[in-house]
């Protein structure tokens, strides 16, 4: 089976299962989305959604967040993990947004990725889900699934993003990113499917009998 054929199978099954793709991180604007995505690193969306209401009750804008101390931010976000790094990043990016970007979230990759704690994946989520600009946010979970489904050679996250962008139409990127995440959580978990149990894995590789060995990102 060709890679393009597997891509068609993936898209067909995902569109059927997830015709609607609500953003799993609760937010009310692009600033709260940016902070929520930053907090989600090595943390579940559920935990982030428990923490952000407390944080945004204290500060919901770059100006008000910039007035908090790092310690005040840290005490609230500590349950998300990586608290020292994340609280420093939130404090510093808020300061930069106020002083350099007139408290507005930039709508381009260069400026977004210049902010503390904002990598390419975080910037991609904000560009796609916040601004509606086509982007394919690839994290380690999508990287793993793309390997299992034979959509990439698995060299690294950057290469996986390039491969997926070639396989799927640009108009589908923003939705597909979320569809893959939803499917991975529900059907193709790291320690349950192993690349041999879910419908996508079985359809793309019907003869696979042994657990798939992933390449590290």
* Domains present along the chain, CATH in parentheses: 3-21+136-204 (1.10.1670.10), 30-131 (1.10.340.30)
**pLDDT for the residue numbered 194:** 92
SS3 helix, strand, coil % of the chain, rounded to 5? 60, 0, 40
**pLDDT for the residue numbered 191:** 86
**pLDDT for the residue numbered 32:** 98
What the block records as the tokens of 41 is: 């690193």
Write the CA distances from 120 to 52, 92, 111, 125, integer angstroms: 22, 18, 11, 9
Q: What is the pLDDT along the chain (217 residues), one digit of tens a residue?
A: 999 999 999 999 999 999 999 999 999 999 999 999 999 999 999 999 999 999 999 999 999 999 999 999 999 999 999 999 999 999 999 999 999 999 999 999 999 999 999 999 999 999 999 999 999 999 989 999 999 999 999 789 999 999 999 999 999 999 999 999 999 999 999 889 999 999 999 999 999 999 998 877 6
**pLDDT for the residue numbered 129:** 97
Under a CB-based contact definition with an 8 Å cutoff, are residues 39 and 205 in contact?
no
Residues 6 or more apart in contact with residue 162 via CB below 8 angstroms: none
């Amino acid at each position: 089976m060709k890679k393009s054929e597997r891509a068609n199978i993936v898209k067909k099954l995902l569109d059927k299962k997830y015709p609607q793709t609500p953003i799993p991180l609760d937010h009310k604007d692009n600033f709260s989305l940016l902070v929520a995505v930053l907090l989600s690193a090595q943390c579940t969306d559920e935990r982030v959604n428990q923490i952000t209401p407390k944080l945004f009750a204290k500060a919901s804008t770059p100006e008000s967040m910039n007035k908090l101390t790092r310690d005040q931010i840290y005490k609230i976000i500590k349950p998300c993990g990586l608290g020292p790094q994340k609280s420093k990043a939130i404090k510093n990016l808020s300061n930069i947004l106020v002083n350099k970007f007139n408290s507005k979230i930039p709508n381009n990759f260069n400026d977004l990725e210049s902010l503390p704690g904002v990598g390419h994946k975080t910037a991609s989520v904000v560009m796609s889900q916040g601004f509606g600009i086509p982007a394919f946010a690839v994290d380690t979970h999508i990287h793993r699934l793309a390997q299992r489904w034979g959509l990439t050679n698995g060299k690294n996250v950057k290469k996986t993003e390039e491969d997926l962008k070639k396989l799927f139409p640009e108009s589908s990127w923003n939705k597909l990113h979320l569809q893959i995440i939803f499917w991975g959580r529900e059907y193709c978990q790291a320690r349950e499917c192993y690349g041999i149990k879910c419908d996508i894995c079985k359809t793309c590789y019907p003869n696979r009998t042994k657990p798939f060995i992933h390449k590290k990102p």
